[in-house]
Structures are given as structure tokens and as C-alpha cells.
Amino acid sequence: MMNKRFGYVRISSKDQNEARQIKNMLAAGIDERDIFIDKQTGKNFDRPQYQALKDPTRLRKGDTIVFDSITRMGRNMDDTLKEYRWFVEKGINLEFLKEPMINTNNKEDDVILKAIQQAVLVILTAFAEKERKDIRIRQAEGIAAAKKRGVKLGRPSLELPKEWDLLYKKWKSKEIKAVEFMNLVKMNKSTFYKKVKEYEEEINSN
């Protein structure tokens, strides 16, 4: 079986456009159906399309995943390093279009080269995490300034049952089924999934 090339695209919000990254993936020779797209922040790796891409029934040793840059993989230094090493251990090649110096598909078994590569990776992931923190600080400063001017920001806080957080975690970890969750919070199916969507959008924006 021939090895495959997959592309991973991530944008931080629905307001951003993934077209540029997709164009880069297509230019890198990746079939459109093999491009996985998440519209979530890079603070962690609990992203549906990223996890779908890692599914062992899809991803095999010798396959390649292409990212536009290391920041599209993740913005948390420790977690991103763990993910990177996980792929290396599984024999999955990683390509970063903007930072080819940290690609893992180098055939040379050069210890010094690998050490330099790891050092560069640590520096890049540290900068990615710092950039994310700086963005959050600027956002907080902008919100504070707007509030000081009397500007009302954001949507109204979600009206959810007090036990929602606990039940949501149990549902996500498959301790309870969706029907159980709906019954416990006394919601019909359409209301339930609407609230789930709003709740996830709120927690992913933090």
C-alpha cells in the first residue's frame, strides 16, 4: 500500500478564512479530500478533525502530514512538543511549509542535525505560545478599554443548568449518553444541541 499525504488546516475562529492554507496544501500536492480543517484555537489538541486525522485506521507508518506552519499544529509549547514526538515515534512524517528545518522526513541519521532540529522546534513552539498569550493580553486590554467607554461587548451569558459542566464532561467522556444528558437538563433534542454548540463556542474562545 502506498503511503499517503494529508494536510491539516487550522484557523482560530469562524471569522477567519482557511482559503490561503488550503491553497498551500493543494500546491503541496495534497488531494482536497485529504485536507482536514478545524476552526478552533490552538490552545489544546481536543479538535475533532485533528483527532480524526490521527485515527490509526487512517494514518499509517510512512504517511505524511503537512502543516502550513508549526502554529497551525498548536500554540501550547509542551503539548505541541508531545504531539510532534508522538508522530515521530509512530513513524509519521511531518512537513511544515514555513519551517522546513523541523520536517521529520529527513533520511539522514545525523545526531547533530537532529539536535539542532529539536532546538529550533523548542524555540518555535515557545514563540507560538508567547504569541498566543500576547494576543489574549491585547484582547483583554481592548475589552477593558471598551468597557471603560461604556461599550457593551459579547453575547449574553448562557443560561444553563447549574449541573451542566459536570454532565457535559461525563457526556464527552462517554459516561452518559446524549439522551440521558437531555433528560437530566430537561431539554429537547434541538435545544440541547443548540446549547452544546453555544457552550463549546464559548469555551473554545477562551
Q: Does a structural domain hold residue 139?
A: no
Confidence class for position 191, pLDDT limits 50, 70, 90: confident
Domain match, 103 and 186 both: no
Helices H, strands E: what count in the chain?
Answer: 8, 4
Percent of the chain with pLDDT over 70: 81
Domain match, 12 and 112 both: yes
18, 72 contact by CB (below 8 A): no
Residue 5, pLDDT score: 95
Q: Tell me which of 59, 90, 122 is where a domain ends.
A: 122
What is the phi/psi pair of residue 185, to 5°?
-100, 5
Domain match, 11 and 71 both: yes
35 lies in which domain range? 5-122
> What total of structural domains would you count in the chain?
2
DSSP state of 35: E
| Average of per-residue pLDDT across 103-131 | 72
Q: Does a structural domain hold residue 135?
A: no
Which residues form the catalytic set?
12
pLDDT per position as a tens digit, 30-74: 999 999 999 888 888 999 999 999 999 999 999 999 999 999 999
pLDDT per position as a tens digit, 122-167: 787 777 777 767 766 776 667 667 666 766 555 555 578 888 989 9
Q: Does a structural domain hold residue 141?
A: no
